[in-house]
Amino acid sequence: MSSTVFLGNLPVWVTADDIKAWLVADNLVADSVKVIRNPETQESKGFAFIEAPNEEEMNLIIRRFDRAPLEDRLLRANPAQPPRPFPNGAQEAAA
């Protein structure tokens, strides 16, 4: 099972460094953090993936961030789903 967390409903200003700092402040461990961005504008799409070292740490991250308030919104955190295949075997262009 993957230990990746989907973190959604992020404001566009949030960076991977912001998320890493939040994790450190709560003594949580992540192997990597990736904020998903529009390849043309580089603006955040409002979600990120956090790769946890194991399932236990993934669950701690989810408990900490799911429905946590940030500005005027509630964050969403849950186990990431595997990527869906593209229709007709097409592949997404490299960013």
Model confidence pLDDT, tens digit, residues 28-37: 999 999 999 9
Q: What's the confidence (pLDDT) of residue 95?
A: 42
For the segment 61-76, the average pLDDT, to the nearest whole number, is: 97
Provide φ and ψ at 56, rounded to 5°: -60, -45
3-state secondary structure of 46: strand
Q: Which helix (H) or strand (E) holds 5?
A: strand 4-8
Q: What is the chain's Cα-based Rg?
A: 14
Identify the bridge partners of residue 35 per DSSP, sorted by sequence position. 48
Model confidence pLDDT, tens digit, residues 7-16: 999 999 999 9
